[in-house]
């Protein structure tokens, strides 16, 4: 009985970690390729989740089917944000990172407050027909939404790995490694930037929907998601998609085991201690070997 | 001297005396003007001020308190106001950030010239506000402030009055009402297959009033023979409780007692159901603070029935403007008001009655009335003690049954029997 309970703890930790991984992947992609820290990342995730929510409530469209509409929409929104808001703000390279903090923070405030005005501060749950359906495998019980979170994360991760091997994906990886050299090789950075931001926003929307499916949704939660995603991004190595995926899962398991063994009060303490230790021992993150900061 | 010269001299005299009269008149007029300008203006309205979290993490709660507060102000104004003056409400958004509270209350008092204040949401926010009020000797009526720490420092004669802080059960009412109920289990138990097992798993949010209540309740409960099989605090930002619930599953308590903000109660119950964690008695203290609890989109839906909760607006209560509040709120917002709305509305009722009885807005006069008189509000009857806590409020334990909160304890107030064991 006890080992089954511990196994359940680990499985649920993987689910929590998976949701954070998904959020961190998009963030690390754009920071690696574009040197832009998108503080509005969590709020874009929340926006995607809200669209899924209203599709469910008004049109009774299942959240996963709703993603077929939300993902392209959020891609377009992300592309538009990069083209019309980020791009003009980060035109001077030596101030790019600082400018990106300020402009994306403003964007985060704008999105969350528009959500507040439009949809009030009421807490929302993505409650679907199978929200309380549970499956038992080898004595470990997991409910359908959590299983869906794990499955979607695996699928999206696989898609990411495939994508990074495409021409466009290789271009993004090149920009992550050395943007100047990539530009010299003829990569059109402006087109790339819009596309990268679009992918990031689309991935964020998926992560946001999965988060709302498992927990709850309200306008102010976006910044908390961003903080979590940034932590996972740093932990995994800036610019490393694989690192973000691994780091999210590792962080989720660590937090769960600490809570189970020591107590919930120490959860955040241990998580951040782990982050500090990793940064001291391996500042480039648990996966990535080196990261070149812009001069 | 010729007649012409005499006349000239006379005109000069007239001009001299006339000029003197005009000068005196001008001086008098100027003096009167200065007096009028520096005289304190006669206020045509009574200004009530405060801050609430209208955006940010507790925006839902803050907005609901504001709705009910505005409702109270509008009703009083429709009825002619207080002492012939209309009420005006000024509420700033503090975004639940303590560092904003002090400057906002300074602004309310020094710039907006408010006459009476209402508290921000929650005790940690109340402290900076009360410091400012004390500096300006202003009276503050609490809205939703559950911790008694502010009253100990600022209560009663120091200007702070909190009708939602009860005596004599003091600060542990969120917890002790349920252990009190179960201490008498053998008297009211109608299912003989159940016997009392005094094991309790307690999970609390790591914030001021949760810690405070727990510190008072725990020794009381242990003295009554309760065994804490789990006693944990979780961070106020936590949304994942799997590990803690796994420990509860291992310990199999008779009572689960969790004190979280409303939306975390929603998350907690869903995760409990998912993990198959339960107990015969499950208390989620703030599950009764909003009727969104049984809403499938905003809360937990029908599985929320059977959960015990603190009952801050019993359905049979008819005091003050409670019936008006129920009807009007439902008309305007489509739902029954609950804890936050009621405490917001009742703070305005207290202000209205205190000002009328005092006949004045002076702090000393108001203080005297607040410390000596009784008040009848939509929330509860009120009689403040010297620490500004309410000696007449009797908390009741509620349980969600058939999508409404029934009062199940104490027996003299009960509108229904407790239903147990909890089964989602």
Residue A124 per-residue DSSP state: B
Q: How close A267 gets to chain B, by Cα (Å)?
A: 8
Query: Which of B204, B232, B242 to mutate against chain A (most A CBs within 10 Å)?
Result: B242
CA A20 to CA B274: how far, in whole Å? 20
Let me know: does B85 contact B44? Beta carbons within 8 Å: yes
Check CB contact under 8 Å for B59 and A116.
Answer: yes
* Same-domain pairing of B279 and B326: no
Q: List, as ranges, residues 52-71 from B with C-beta within 8 Å of A.
A: 55-57, 59-60, 62-63
Tally the residues of chain A: 295
SS3 A35: coil
> Which pLDDT tens digit goes with each residue over A34-58?
888 899 999 999 999 999 999 999 9
Domain boundaries, chain A: 2-281
Q: Which of A237-241, A288-292, B49-53, B338-342 tops mean pLDDT?
A: B49-53
Check CB contact under 8 Å for A259 and B266.
Answer: no
Q: Tell me, yes or no, if B228 comes closer than 8 A to chain A by beta carbon.
A: no
| Cα Dmax for chain B | 132
CATH classification of the domain holding B408:
3.40.50.2300
CA B183 to CA B221: how far, in whole Å? 10
Report which of residues B43 and B234 the model is more confident about.
B234
Q: How close B315 gets to chain A, by Cα (Å)?
A: 23
> Which pLDDT tens digit goes with each residue over A172-198?
888 877 777 888 888 887 788 889 999
* Same-domain pairing of B275 and B407: yes
- Six token digits for residue B302: 């029908």
Q: Is the pLDDT at B321 greater than 90, yes or no? A: yes
SS3 B348: helix
* Same-domain pairing of B384 and B409: no
> Which pLDDT tens digit goes with each residue over B376-398?
999 999 999 988 888 888 888 99
Residues of A in contact with B241 (CB under 8 A): 264
- What band does B122 get if pLDDT is binned at 50, 70 and 90? confident
- What band does B167 get if pLDDT is binned at 50, 70 and 90? low
Helix axis angle, B262-275 to B242-251, nearest 10°: 60
Let me know: does A44 contact A77? Beta carbons within 8 Å: yes
Measured between alpha carbons, how far is residue B10 from residues A66, B1, B13, B17, B302 in Å? 103, 12, 5, 10, 103
Mean pLDDT, rounded, of chain B: 89
* Same-domain pairing of B134 and B235: no
What's the total number of domains in chain B?
2
CA A192 to CA B227: how far, in whole Å? 62
- What band does A290 get if pLDDT is binned at 50, 70 and 90? very low
Check CB contact under 8 Å for A141 and B232.
Answer: no
- What band does A291 get if pLDDT is binned at 50, 70 and 90? very low
> Which pLDDT tens digit goes with each residue over A108-149?
999 999 998 898 888 887 888 888 788 887 777 788 888 888
**CA dihedral sign of residues B378, B379, B385, B388:** negative
Question: What are A's interface residues with B at a Cβ cutoff of 8 A?
Answer: 1-2, 5-6, 8-9, 12-13, 16, 57, 113, 116, 120-125, 127, 131-132, 134, 141, 143, 146, 215-216, 218-220, 224, 255-257, 259-260, 263-265, 267-268
For range B151-175, the mean pLDDT: 74
Q: Is the pLDDT at B9 greater than 70, yes or no? A: no
For range A225-248, the mean pLDDT: 87
Place of tokens 């560092």: B99
Q: How far is CA B178 from the centre of its chain?
A: 22
Query: Which of A1, A5, A118, A139 to mutate against chain B (most B CBs within 10 Å)?
Result: A5
Q: How many CA atoms lie within 13 A of B50 on its CB side?
A: 31
Check CB contact under 8 Å for A216 and B239.
Answer: yes
Q: How far is CA A150 from the centre of its chain?
A: 14
Q: Residue B66 contacts by C-beta under 8 Å, 6 or more apart in sequence? A: B52, B54, B91, B344
CA B299 to CA B306: how far, in whole Å? 14
Residues of A in contact with B297 (CB under 8 A): 57, 124-125, 127
Let me know: does A286 contact A278? Beta carbons within 8 Å: yes
Q: How close A290 gets to chain B, by Cα (Å)?
A: 33
Q: Is the pLDDT at A92 greater than 80, yes or no? A: no
Q: How close B261 gets to chain A, by Cα (Å)?
A: 11
> What's the pLDDT score for residue B17?
83
Residues of A in contact with B259 (CB under 8 A): none
Tell me which residue in B57, B206, B297 faces A125 most closely, judged by beta carbons.
B297
| pTM score over 0.90 | no
SS3 B93: strand
Check CB contact under 8 Å for A220 and B243.
Answer: no
> What's the pLDDT score for residue B35?
73
* Same-domain pairing of B232 and B259: yes
> Which pLDDT tens digit goes with each residue over B201-223?
999 888 877 788 888 889 989 99
- What band does A1 get if pLDDT is binned at 50, 70 and 90? low
Alpha helices in A141-266 (DSSP H): 144-163, 167-177, 179-184, 189-214, 221-236, 241-261
Q: Is the pLDDT at A292 greater than 50, yes or no? A: no
Task: Give the residue among A263, A277, A182 at the shortest CA–CA distance from A234.
Answer: A277
Q: Tell me, yes or no, if B189 comes closer than 8 A to chain A by beta carbon.
A: no
Check CB contact under 8 Å for A5 and B63.
Answer: no
Give this complex's ipTM.
Answer: 0.78
Burial of B367 (C-beta count, 10 Å sphere; 0-12/13-18/19+) = buried
Domain assignment present for residue B348? The answer is yes
Q: How close B149 gets to chain A, by Cα (Å)?
A: 23
Instruction: Quote the Cα angle for A33-A253-B261, to 5°.
Output: 95
Question: Can you point out the beta strands (E) in B207-254?
Answer: 227-234
For range B102-119, the mean pLDDT: 95
Residues of B in contact with A216 (CB under 8 A): 239, 263, 266-267
- What band does B18 get if pLDDT is binned at 50, 70 and 90? confident
> What's the pLDDT score for residue A295?
35
Residue B107 per-residue DSSP state: I
Report which of residues B344 and A15 the model is more confident about.
B344
Give the other-Cβ count within 10 Å of B36's Cβ: 9
Q: Is the pLDDT at A223 greater than 50, yes or no? A: yes
- Six token digits for residue A182: 């990539």
> What's the pLDDT score for residue A293?
38
Domain assignment present for residue B7? The answer is no
> Which pLDDT tens digit goes with each residue over B294-319?
988 888 889 999 999 988 888 889 99
Question: Range of B281's domain?
Answer: 172-314+397-413
CA A219 to CA A123: how far, in whole Å? 8
* Same-domain pairing of B84 and B184: no
The CATH number for A2-281, chosen from 2.60.40, 1.10.10, 1.10.3470, 1.10.3210, is 1.10.3470
Let me know: does A30 contact B254? Beta carbons within 8 Å: no
Residues of A in contact with B303 (CB under 8 A): 132
* Same-domain pairing of B258 and B402: yes
Q: What is the 3-state secondary structure (H, E, C) of B170-216?
A: HHHHHHHHHHHHHHCHHHHCCCCCCCCCCEEEEEEECCHHHHHHHHH
CA B27 to CA B14: how far, in whole Å? 20
Let me know: does B396 contact B413? Beta carbons within 8 Å: yes
Q: Is the pLDDT at B165 greater than 80, yes or no? A: no
Query: Which of A42, A120, A123, A248 to mutate against chain B (most B CBs within 10 Å)?
Result: A123
Domain assignment present for residue B26? The answer is no
Q: Residue B331 contacts by C-beta under 8 Å, 6 or more apart in sequence? A: none
Q: Is the pLDDT at B359 greater than 60, yes or no? A: yes
SS3 B51: strand
For range A254-271, the mean pLDDT: 84
Tell me which residue in B244, B263, B270 faces A259 most closely, judged by beta carbons.
B244
Tell me which residue in A116, A143, A259 faces B243 most closely, judged by beta carbons.
A259
Let me know: does B66 contact B92? Beta carbons within 8 Å: no
> What's the pLDDT score for residue B168?
52
- What band does B6 get if pLDDT is binned at 50, 70 and 90? low
- What band does B1 get if pLDDT is binned at 50, 70 and 90? low
Place of tokens 């949760």: B210
Residue B311's DSSP bridge partners are B396
- Six token digits for residue B140: 């503050």
């Amino acid at each position: 009985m006890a080992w089954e309970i511990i196994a359940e703890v680990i499985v649920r930790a993987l689910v929590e970690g998976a949701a954070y991984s998904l959020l961190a992947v998009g963030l690390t992609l754009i920071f690696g390729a574009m040197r832009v820290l998108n503080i509005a990342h969590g709020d874009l995730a929340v926006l995607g989740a809200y669209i899924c929510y209203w599709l469910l409530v008004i049109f009774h469209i299942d959240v996963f089917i709703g993603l077929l509409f939300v993902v392209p929409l959020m891609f377009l929104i992300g592309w538009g944000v990069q083209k019309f808001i980020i791009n003009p703000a980060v035109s001077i390279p030596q101030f790019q990172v600082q400018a990106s903090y300020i402009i994306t923070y403003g964007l985060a405030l704008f999105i969350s407050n528009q959500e507040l005005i439009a949809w009030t501060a009421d807490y929302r749950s993505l409650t679907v027909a199978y929200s309380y359906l549970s499956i038992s495998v080898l004595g470990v019980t997991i409910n359908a939404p959590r299983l869906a979170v794990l499955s979607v994360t695996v699928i999206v991760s696989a898609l990411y790995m495939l994508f990074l091997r495409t021409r466009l994906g290789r271009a993004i990886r090149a920009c992550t490694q050395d943007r100047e050299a990539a530009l010299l090789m003829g990569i059109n950075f402006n087109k790339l930037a819009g596309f990268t931001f679009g992918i990031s926003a689309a991935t964020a929307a998926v992560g946001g929907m999965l988060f709302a499916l498992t927990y709850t949704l309200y306008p102010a939660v976006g910044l908390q998601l961003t903080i979590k995603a940034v932590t996972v991004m740093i932990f995994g190595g800036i610019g490393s998609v694989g690192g973000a995926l691994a780091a999210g899962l590792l962080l989720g398991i660590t937090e769960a085991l600490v809570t189970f063994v020591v107590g919930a009060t120490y959860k955040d303490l241990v998580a951040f201690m782990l982050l500090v230790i990793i940064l001291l021992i391996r500042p480039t993150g648990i996966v990535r070997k080196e990261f070149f900061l812009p001069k | 001297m010729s007649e012409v010269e005499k006349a000239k001299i006379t005109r000069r005299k007239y001009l001299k005396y006339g000029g003197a009269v005009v000068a005196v008149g001008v001086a008098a007029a100027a003096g009167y003007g200065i007096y009028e300008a520096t005289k304190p203006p006669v206020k045509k309205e009574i200004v009530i001020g405060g801050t609430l979290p209208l955006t940010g993490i507790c925006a839902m709660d803050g907005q609901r308190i504001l709705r009910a507060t505005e409702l109270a102000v509008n009703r009083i104004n429709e009825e002619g106001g207080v002492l012939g003056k209309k009420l005006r409400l000024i509420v700033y958004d503090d975004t639940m950030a303590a560092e904003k509270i002090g400057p906002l209350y300074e602004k309310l008092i020094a710039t907006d010239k408010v006459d009476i204040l209402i508290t921000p949401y929650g005790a940690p926010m109340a402290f900076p506000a009360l410091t400012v009020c004390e500096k300006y000797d202003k009276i503050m009526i609490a809205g939703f402030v559950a911790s008694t720490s502010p009253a100990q420092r600022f209560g009663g004669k120091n200007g702070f009055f909190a009708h939602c802080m009860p005596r004599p059960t003091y600060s542990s009412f969120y917890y002790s009402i349920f252990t009190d109920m179960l201490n008498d289990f053998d008297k009211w138990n109608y299912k003989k297959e159940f016997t009392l097992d005094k094991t309790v798993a307690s999970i609390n949010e790591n914030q001021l009033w949760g810690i405070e209540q727990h510190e008072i309740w725990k020794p009381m409960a242990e003295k009554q023979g309760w065994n804490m099989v789990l006693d944990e605090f979780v961070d106020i930002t936590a949304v994942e409780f799997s590990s803690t619930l796994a420990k509860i599953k291992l310990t199999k308590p008779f009572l689960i007692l969790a004190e979280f903000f409303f939306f975390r109660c929603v998350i907690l119950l869903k995760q409990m159901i998912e993990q198959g964690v339960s107990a015969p008695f499950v208390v989620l203290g703030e599950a009764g603070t909003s009727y969104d609890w049984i809403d499938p989109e905003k809360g937990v839906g029908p599985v929320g029935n059977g959960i015990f909760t603190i009952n801050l607006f019993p359905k049979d209560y008819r005091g003050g403007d409670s019936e008006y509040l129920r009807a009007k709120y439902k008309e305007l917002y489509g739902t029954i008001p609950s804890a936050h709305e009621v405490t917001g509305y009742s703070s305005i009722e207290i202000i209205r009655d205190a000002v009328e009885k005092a006949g004045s807005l002076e702090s000393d006069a108001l203080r005297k009335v607040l410390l000596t008189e009784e008040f009848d509000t939509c929330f509860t009857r009120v009689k403040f003690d010297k620490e500004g806590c309410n000696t007449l409020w009797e908390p009741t334990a509620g349980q969600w049954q058939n999508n409404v909160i029934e009062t199940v304890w104490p027996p003299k107030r009960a509108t229904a029997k407790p239903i147990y064991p909890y089964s989602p």
